[in-house]
Amino acid sequence: MTDGGAESTTVESILDTDFLSEGVVLAGREGLGRIVDRLTLIENPESIRFWIGAQDLVLTTGFALAQSTEPLSSFVSAAHSAGVAGIVIHFDEDITTIDDDTRAVADELELPLIAVSESFALDHVLARGVRDRAKQQVRAMYRSERLRKLLVARMVAGGGVAELASAAAAELDVAVLMTTSDGRRLATAGADEEEVRALCRSSALDATGRLKTDSTDGGLGLRTTDEGAIAVCAISANSIDHGRVAAFSRHRTLSTQDLHVVDAAAAVFALAVTRDLALSKIEEKHRANFLRDLLLGRGGEHPHAVAHAQRFGWNIGRPVVVVVIEPTPGVDATRQAPDRMPLVDRQMMAFSGALAQRDPHAAIAALGTETVIMMGAGPNTVNAIRDIIDSVRGDGGGGRQPFAVGISRPCTSVEDIPGIYGQARTALKVGRQIYGTWAVTTFDDLGVFRLLSLVENDDELTSFTKETLHELTEQTVEARDMRKTLEMLLATNINIAETARNLHFHYNTLRYRVVKLEKILGPFTERPDLRLDLSLALKIMAMRGIDHYM
C-alpha cells in the first residue's frame, strides 16, 4: 500500500476515501494514525493467527464474528497482539453492535473499530488481493475439514498416534513429526523416507532428535530450515499442552494455508492423546499400586509376584535394581503453568520413553513425589542408567526441571525389594545433600555416609560436629579455608609436603597452619582417634550440603 517516497497510508486517511466514507468509528479513535500496509478479509475469526499480519486493516462481518466461540474482546486483543492497524466490521442480522467490554478493550489498546453498513467495495484499489486471500482461507477450511474427517475416522477405528501421523503425512504430502511438549519424538511418518531423514537432520531438531520447542528453530509457526520448510502447531486439550505436530517438506515452501491445515490435524491428535491417556490411566493406577506393594513388601511370595508382574510386561524374576528419581523440592513448574501435567508425571513419561529402548521389561511408575524404576541388573547397569538420564535431560528438554537420582544394589528375590528401595532412597537423599541438585548416586558410592545417614537424631550430629571442629564449623571465609586445609591433611595422612603441593602452599606456610589447627582442634597429628573424629565431622558437614568442595 506504500511505496518509496509516498506518504504512508493510515486508517484515518482511508476513512477519507470513498472506500470507507460511510464508516463510523466505534472505539479506539486514538489509534487512527496507525499505518496500513494491506487489507485482509477474515471469514473465520478463530483462524485469525494464520491470516493477519502487522499493519493489516482487517475486514470482517457480523456473521463471521457470530461464529466465534470466544468473546469479541478476545478477537480484538488477538488482532492488537498481531499488530493490525484496525478492524472494519460489516454489521448484519447476526451482529448489529458491539458490547461495552469490547469498546473498552479497543479504547485501551487504541485499536480502531470501524462499522460499515454496506458491502465493501472489493473492486476498489485499496482492496487489491483481498479476494485472493479470501479464496486461500476457504481452501484452507476445506482442506482442514477433509483432513479432520480422515483422521477422526482413523481414530474411531482404533488408530493410534503413529497411524494418524501416517495418514496426515500421506494426505498433505509431507513428513510428519509428533512430539511431547518438550520435543521428545513420539511418531514420525512420510511416504518419502528421505523426506523423513531430512526432517530429522534439520536445525529444528537437536543432536538427540528432540524438536527444539523452546527455540525459534522448532517453535510454533512457519519457518524455513537448512533442509526445507516446517510448520509446527501445538497439541492441546482441556487447556493442557500435550505436545507438538510438525509438517516438513523439502520440495515446496509451506504456506499459511498449510499451517492452518496442520493445526486441524493437531486438534485430532489431541483427541487421540486424550483418549489414550484416559485408557491408560486405569491401567497405570493398577501398575503403580502393584509396584508400591512390591516396594513396601506387600507383593506376595516370589513366584506369585513374578507371575503377576508379567501381566504388566515386567520381569522381576531376574536380578533387579531400584532407581528413584525425585525433582528438586520447590521447583514444580505447574505452580507457574497450570496448563501442564504435574512435574512428576512428566518426568515419569520422559523416563518411560527412554527406558523402553534399553529395558522394555522394566517396571516404572510415578509414586507421589518420585518416579521409581525397577530394572534388570548387570555389569553395565549404572552406565545404562546414566545414559537414560542423559537422554531425558537432553538439550533443553526434560532437564529443564532438575532432579536427583538414587540407585540401589541388585537383589534376586522379591522379598528383598523393600530393602533395596530403602537403599535407593538413602542414596538419593544423601547424594543430593553432598553433590547438589543433579546428583546421581549409587548406594555403594556412599561409604561412611551410609552409616551417618542412619543417625536419626540431627541434634546429636550437630553437637558432635561442633564439639569436634569448634570454630571451624562457622561459615566464614577463614573457617572454610581452614576446613579445606584440614581435609587435605587428613586425605594425605598428615603428609605436610604432599599437602603443601596439592594446596599450592609454601611448606612453612602449611606448617604454620598445622600449628594453628592443633591449637583449635587438639594434637590430631599425633592421635589417630582424633583424626577419625575430625574426618567424620567434616563428612557430616558435607552430607548436610555445607561444604561442596569435597
What's the pTM?
0.49
pLDDT at residue number 371: 93
- Name the grid cell of 247: 509438517
Give the pLDDT band (50/70/90) at residue 5.
very low
Q: Are 89 and 116 in contact (CB under 8 A)?
A: yes
pLDDT at residue number 359: 92
User: What are φ and ψ of residue 298, in 5° steps?
Assistant: -110, 20
Q: 323 or 127, which is more confident?
A: 323
What percent of the chain clears pLDDT 90, i.e. is strictly above it?
Answer: 19
* The 113-116 sheet, strands edge to edge: 24-27, 113-116, 86-90, 56-61, 38-41
| Mean pLDDT, the chain, whole residue set | 82
DSSP string for 423-456: HHHHHHHHHHHHH-TT-EEEGGG-THHHHHHT--
Task: List the single range of 119-133, 282-296, 407-421 with lowest mean pLDDT.
Answer: 119-133
Give the pLDDT band (50/70/90) at residue 222.
confident
- Name the grid cell of 378: 548387570
Give CA–CA dist 67/88, Å, rounded: 17
pLDDT higher than 50, residue 300: yes
Task: List the single range of 9-18, 453-462, 507-516 with lowest mean pLDDT.
Answer: 453-462
Residue the block writes with cell 508400591: 292
pLDDT at residue number 134: 62
DSSP string for 312-362: TT---SS-EEEEEEEEPTT--GGGT-TTS--HHHHHHHHHHHHHHTT-TT-
* The 240-249 sheet, strands edge to edge: 185-189, 175-179, 240-249, 229-237, 221-224
pLDDT at residue number 137: 67
Q: 241 or 127, which is more confident?
A: 241
Q: 544 or 284, which is more confident?
A: 284
Give the pLDDT band (50/70/90) at residue 333.
very low
- Name the grid cell of 291: 509396584
Give CA–CA dist 543/539, Å, rounded: 6
- Mean pLDDT over residues 363-390, rounded? 91
Give CA–CA dist 98/104, Å, rounded: 10
How many CA atoms are closer than 13 Å to the CA of 526, on its beta-carbon side?
A: 5
Give the pLDDT band (50/70/90) at residue 268.
confident
Nearest alpha carbon to residue 408 among 448, 445, 460: 445
Q: Quick one: three-class SS letters along 51-117?
A: HCCCCEEEEEEHHHHHCCCCCHHHHHHHHHHCCCCEEEEECCCCCCCCCHHHHHHHHHHCCCEEEEC
CA distances from 182 to 211, 346, 398, 437 (A): 8, 10, 6, 21
pLDDT at residue number 120: 52
CA distances from 246 to 169, 287, 397 (A): 10, 32, 17
Give the pLDDT band (50/70/90) at residue 454.
low
Give CA–CA dist 172/260, Å, rounded: 12
Q: Quick one: three-class SS letters along 147-181?
A: HHHHHHHHHHCCCCHHHHHHHHHHHHCCEEEEECC
Q: Are 488 and 494 in contact (CB under 8 A)?
A: no
Give CA–CA dist 308/128, Å, rounded: 70
CA distances from 180 to 148, 443, 452 (A): 21, 33, 41
Task: List the single range of 122-126, 231-235, 453-457 with lowest mean pLDDT.
Answer: 122-126
pLDDT at residue number 35: 92
pLDDT higher than 70, residue 202: yes
End-to-end Cα, the chain, rounded Å:
68
pLDDT at residue number 34: 92
- Name the grid cell of 215: 527455540
Task: List the single range of 360-364, 408-412, 529-533, 538-542 with lowest mean pLDDT.
Answer: 538-542
Please tell me the total number of residues recorded for the chain in this structure. 550
Give the pLDDT band (50/70/90) at residue 467.
confident
Give CA–CA dist 421/406, Å, rounded: 9
Give CA–CA dist 52/39, Å, rounded: 9
Amino acid occupying residue 169: A
- pLDDT tens digits, 73-109: 888 998 898 899 999 888 776 677 888 999 999 999 9
pLDDT at residue number 4: 43
User: b/e map of 500-536 (b: 16 or more CB within 10 Å)?
Assistant: beeeebeeeebeebbeebeeebeebeeeeebbebbbb
- Indicate the DSSP class of residue 253: -
Beta partners for residue 407, in sequence order: 323, 442
Give CA–CA dist 501/498, Å, rounded: 5
pLDDT higher than 70, residue 302: yes
pLDDT at residue number 462: 78
pLDDT at residue number 98: 84
Give CA–CA dist 208/188, Å, rounded: 15
pLDDT at residue number 418: 93
- Name the grid cell of 214: 523452546
Give the pLDDT band (50/70/90) at residue 398.
very low
Question: How many DSSP H helices and E strands does the chain contain?
Answer: 19, 15
pLDDT higher than 60, residue 131: no
**From the centroid of its chain, how far is CA 549?**
31
